[in-house]
Amino acid sequence: MLLPDRNELAALLRRYRVWEHLVLTKPHDQARRRGLEDIAYTLCVLMGRRTVREAVIAAEVYLESSEASACPPAERAGEG
């Protein structure tokens, strides 16, 4: 399976959180809702998930596992 670039995915997840906050502050603003829906769709496609909730969880798990494997063994063990 082809996996997304970690940096691009992290940026997309940050943008999703920003748009989510914007929609929550003005839920009736259609432009904000469209912006959130566009990013949510991209996130779903990128993660191969059917719902935004599943895509966000999958993205977070993927990013956490990528960060853990990128750390040297001493840092992962809490040393150094």
Domain presence at residue 76: no
33 lies in a domain? yes
Task: Give tens-digit pLDDT for 50-77.
Answer: 999 999 999 999 999 976 565 544 454 5
Within a domain: residue 78?
no
Closest CA to 8 of 48, 35, 47: 47
Q: Is residue 75 part of a domain?
A: no
* 48 within a domain of the structure (yes/no): yes
Is 48 within 8 Å of 4 (Cβ atoms)? no
- How many CA atoms are closer than 13 Å to the CA of 79, on its beta-carbon side? 4
| Total domain count, the chain | 1
Position 54 in a domain: yes
For residue 34, being part of any structural domain is answered with yes
Which residue's entry shows tokens 């082809």?
A: 2
- In a domain, residue 29? The reply is yes
Q: Is the pTM of this model over 0.75?
A: yes
Full domain range(s) for residue 24: 6-70
Cα separation, 18 vs 6, in Å, equals 18
